[in-house]
Structure 1
Amino acid sequence: MNPLLRLPSVRSAADPSASPSPSGLTQSELVGHADTFARWFLGTGVRLAVILLVGALVLLALRVVIRSVTQHIVDGADDTGSSLLRRVGPLASARRAQRARTVGSVLRSTATIVVGTLVFLLVLDTVGMNIAPFIASAGIVGVAVGFGAQSLVKDFLSGVFMLLEDQYGVGDVVDVGPGAGTAGTVEAVGLRVTKIRDSAGTLWYVPNGTMTRVGNKTQGWAKAIVEVSVDYFADLDEVRGLLTQAADRVAADPVIGTYLQGAPTVTGIEAVTFDAVTLRLSVTTAPAMQWDVARELRVAVRDVLTSAGIPLGGQRDLMAAERARVVGAPGAPTPAEAPEAGTDEG
């Protein structure tokens, strides 16, 4: 037999480490692979584990902070000094819940994207890949998106700041200014658009970025204002007393009266025309209740002025004719029997 054919067996007998394993590798090769894996595990593997662990801890910490921020929003703690007013009513509760959900969702998504991207890049760098092309590509994509979706980014950022600043919420009556040109009740608040239903029932979708200014008519407190134009020659002191009497009657109402906050105010002469003098009656009310209070004030003002015989501006002749008609009605006292206006009886 050829001696060369017997060489491997002789080598195997002399060097046991050269005998093949079931996987086809020699013991020395197995030891080398194990050593290489150990070095990788103790070096690169540990670094990868640390990166993933730190990323998970950072993300967990951010979620805890986000939860605290959203709870802060729900509690209504801000600088307006009207958090107590916003704690009541189902609309206020829905508003706080929607703000918390939206802000929490945005912050959680942002934190996940930022932390996930950083962890991904660090992992690639640890395993030896060049991350410079990824960073350059991300920059190019960011610039392209910034130029191509400027309005979308503007709407998104405006929505985020609107929610954080609590400019308005579900149930508020707002006027969103000349840019959007819409006024009505807020039905839904999103990061890109706000849904507003006007007095005619039309639902408007207003992009947040188009709102150059926002007037909120139902936040904190409100004012019910009623202007009354009485006859030019009416006794203004008497008229002021009657307006205060009308406000007191509204304040005594078991339902409407609960919405009044503070005493009513009757200001001086607001306007003077050739046949009328205008006075203003105002009272502070709970938010979103100024319109109901103003309607009740008008009814009360009309009743007290009619009972006192004080005509509105330009209505002197009509009131005199109406009084004459009432006096001449069947069963009513005759003009001779009826007491004259402005005279004392007995």
Structure 2
Amino acid sequence: MSAGHEKLRDHQSAWLAPSEMNNKTHVTEFIFLGFSNHPSLQGVFFLVFLAIYLTTLLGNTLIMSATRVSPALHTPMYYFLSNLSFLDICYTTTTIPAMLVNFFREKKTISYEGCLSQIFFFVACAGTECVLLAAMAYDRYVAICRPLQYPILMSVKVCVCLVAGSWLCGVVNSVTHTALAATLILCGPNQISHFLCDIPLLLKLSCSDTSVNESVLHVASATIGLSPCLFTAGSYILIISVILRIPSAQGRRKAFSTCASHLTVVVVFYGTANFNYDQPREGYSLDMDILVSVLFCVVTPMLNPIIYSLRNKEIKGALRKLAGGCAFPSDSKA
């Protein structure tokens, strides 16, 4: 066992309630073990994650600003993209700031209430993103497969309802999981082998019956995770079938370019999510689990604006105009 783990054992008395009758204890805080195997690299980790967080904030803020100031981007596709950028900012802010603070603390803890709060916002953002990506796939399906009906099927009212519905699904799912997690009896240890609080991690620490929690988790995985994924996959099967029937090669390239960025984001999101929650237990290691979770929770939100800005001419043009307006404000008034 590493020296870092031995130090953590010395702090376990902080989470025990005065009474330990019937081997039941009340957890008041949790100790994160994520990155504890590399105490000498805490400073390096801090700089890396700080750079990723600032890049995520900057990139997604620029996307949101560009979609607002450029009239050419006042379309349903970019309305969804703006909401995705806002969601990614919320997503990373749920976990990274607390992680950055813990790099400078010998005792990397989070309170019981703070853990439940982190679970609520983390699950809400993840669930909302699943549904929102499906809504964006529907937008691309209508644009390519039913272009004449696009103004009606993707009206402002429909777009607002799709975004609101995405947030509603994410929040309802999160409230359900968080409420059930609050009923768990946690008997210890209070060590979480991760850098964040998540439902499966909390279930491992419980000494009470978790069958209801696990059943709800499976149902939510099917409805909030798998169903939007299948819907998105089905939409792109139809989209690709229509694109392949376009006679000219230029027409096929133009049609595919309108959905290439979103398809890339979908593949990255679901690829890292699947690897994060369904990785094989054989050959399991804490370092590998942390690495996979970092890709899903930290790196993916940073990649989204990069993918859209690199593969989308309209976004690149709007960003250039935005940068030019900031650099030469007097010219924009002329």
Tell me whether the two structures share a fold, i.e. TM-score over 0.5. Answer: no
Alignment TM class, shorter chain as reference = under 0.3
Give TM-score scaled by structure 1 length: 0.24
Give TM-score scaled by structure 2 length: 0.25
Q: Would you tell me which structure has more helix in proportion to its own residues?
A: 2
Bigger Rg, which one: 1
